[in-house]
Amino acid sequence: MDRLESLVNISQYYGNNPAYIIAGGGNTSYKNSEKLYIKASGISLATIALDGFVIMSRDELGAMEEKVYSEDSVSREEEVKKDMMNAIISPENLRPSVETSLHNLIGYTYIVHTHPTNINALMCANDAKAEVEERFGSEALYVEYTDPGYILFKKLRDQMKIYRNQFGTDPKIIFLQNHGIFVGANSAQEVKAIYDSVESRIRERKNLSLPEGGIEGYESEALEVVSGFYASRNLVSKAYRSPLIDHFSAGLSQYQKISRPFTPDIIVYCKSNYLFLEKGMGADAIAKKLAEFEEVHSYYPKVIVEEMAGLIIVEENEKSVNTVLEVFYDMLKISYLSEQYGGPHFMTDEQITFIDNWEVENYRRSVAKAG
Ligand SMILES: [Zn+2]
């Protein structure tokens, strides 16, 4: 098989597997000595074709690795973005993935970066680092959470240098705390084999099963109040329950295990604040809560947890309701499974604020919505 055909195949393979990729997350690349083919921002891996990749100059990307950028984070992100756009060989109407420089850094032909549920159950848990060390030793590199973009790139570059000096080669497995995993190899087949082995090693001596039962819709008084509250703004509100949702809607202490985002992707789709409605609240009290939420956060709650009932999602249309449900439901799974590795570990307020203000993610969100 042609090397670029292999890239498209492996991209679709993981893109179509909801255990690895949900919503628009994840990205893939192929490189030779001169060019890097990287997934374009906002394009879905599930349906990607060769024209969904941006071809980048590796010389230009390499020059960015050593260049000194502004100390100020806003100017720096601007400068980096400009250099990144200048490194594009073709086409000029697509924007390369925000993780392009990470792909260029890892010295393997194929790189597949995903946010798998089971792996993130470990990456978003308190014992992430210790468990990675125990299960993977020097085979994997573990990178503590860092603001994405240039700061993460610099951190990975420095850790890679140390790894290379020590082991004479690049790591094929890179774990990113509260984010996901990069796997690199010189064939697509080997990438798959590594993913399988990572998954089985993470499962070892752990029970990664979830409460059984699917998601179904429900009606409730709270749903009626929420729908009525946003009706004039044409927002769609839907309510869902499942055994897994029941687990987290059972009470405030359960809700607290899903009350903050685990990863930047969750913020991109669901925002970083959610609303908990206590059981038995009347219509007026609910309306007051909704108004207060918006006053504090300047946006409406996309995710509302109704105690002893389920999850209410509010969004602009049916399609975006489904996306928020998909992403938040994955967060429930991650939180549930993280108990196997010391319990959930959220992003900090500072880390959350960075993502809220990051133009790159706003761009990705708007492309995903338009698509
Ligand atoms: Zn990512």
pLDDT score for 78: 87
CA of 99 to the centre of ligand 1 (A): 7
Q: Kindly report the number of other CB atoms within 10 A of residue 9's CB atom.
A: 12
Choose the final residue of a domain: 154, 182, 203.
203
Distance 356 CA to ligand 1 centre (A): 16
Q: Domain for residue 210, yes or no?
A: no
Nearest in space to 7 (alpha carbons), one of 55, 41, 66: 55
Q: Ligand 1 center to residue 272 CA distance, Å? A: 17
* Nearest of 269, 370, 255, 366 to residue 311 by alpha carbon: 255
Does a structural domain hold residue 342? yes
Q: Indicate whether 211 belongs to any domain.
A: no
d(CA 140, ligand 1 centre) in Å: 17
Domain assignment present for 282: yes
Mean of pLDDT over the chain: 94
Q: Are residues 231 and 196 in the same domain?
A: no
Tell me how far the alpha carbon of residue 218 lies from the centroid of ligand 1, in angstroms: 33
Do residues 174 and 100 share a domain?
yes
Tens digits of per-residue pLDDT, 212-254?
Answer: 999 999 999 999 999 999 999 999 999 999 999 999 999 999 9
Same domain, 225 and 348: yes
Claim to verify: residue 232 and residue 353 sit in the same structural domain: yes
Query: Cα 96–41–355 angle (5° rounding)?
Result: 105
Mean pLDDT by 10 residues, the chain (371 residues): 94 95 89 97 94 97 92 86 95 92 96 97 98 98 93 94 97 98 98 98 96 97 98 96 98 98 94 96 97 94 98 97 97 98 97 82 61 47
61 and 180 share one domain: yes
Distance 26 CA to ligand 1 centre (A): 5
Last residue of a domain, one of 168, 203, 238: 203
Q: Both 112 and 226 in a single domain? A: no
- Provide φ and ψ at 236, rounded to 5°: -100, 130
Q: Are 28 and 103 part of one and the same domain?
A: yes
Instruction: Give the per-residue pLDDT at 362.
Output: 62
Ligand 1: centre distance to CA 61 (Å) = 19
Tell me the residue range of the domain where 77 lies.
Answer: 3-203
Task: Calculate how far, in angstroms, residue 114's C-alpha sits from the geometric centre of ligand 1.
Answer: 6
179 Cα–ligand 1 center, Å: 6
263, part of any domain: yes
CA of 248 to the centre of ligand 1 (A): 26
What CA–CA distances, in Å, run from 265 to 5, 24, 361, 365? 28, 9, 9, 10
> Residue 17 domain-assigned?
yes
Shared-domain flag, residues 37 and 171: yes
Number of domains in the chain: 2
Single out the residue in 151, 175, 203 at which a domain terminates: 203
**How many angstroms separate the alpha carbon of residue 40 from the centre of ligand 1?**
13
pLDDT score of 77: 83
52 neighbors 90 (Cβ within 8 angstroms): no
E strand or H helix at 267: helix 264-270
The rounded Å distance from CA 115 to ligand 1 centre is: 6
The residues near 355 (Cβ < 8 Å, ≥ 6 apart) are 147, 148, 264, 267, 268, 272, 347, 361
Whether 350 is in a domain gets the answer yes
The pLDDT, as a whole number, for residue 23 is 80
CATH number where 60 lies: 3.40.225.10
Query: Given this model, what pLDDT does residue 365 score?
Result: 59
The verdict on 295 and 355 lying in the same domain is: yes
Residue 273 and residue 142 share a domain: no
The stretches of 26-126 forming alpha helices (DSSP H) are: 58-66, 73-86, 100-105, 117-123
Query: Ligand 1 center to residue 12 CA distance, Å?
Result: 16
Compute the distance from residue 370 Cα to the ligand 1 centre, in Å. Answer: 20
- Ligand 1 centroid–CA 309 distance in Å is 32
**Gap from CA of 51 to ligand 1 centroid (Å):** 21
In a domain, 209, yes or no: no
Same domain, 115 and 178: yes
3 state SS of 143: strand
- pTM for the structure as a whole: 0.94
Q: What is the pLDDT of residue 149?
A: 84
Whether 135 and 224 share a structural domain? no
Sheet holding 303-306, edge to edge: 216-217, 236-241, 310-315, 303-306, 275-277
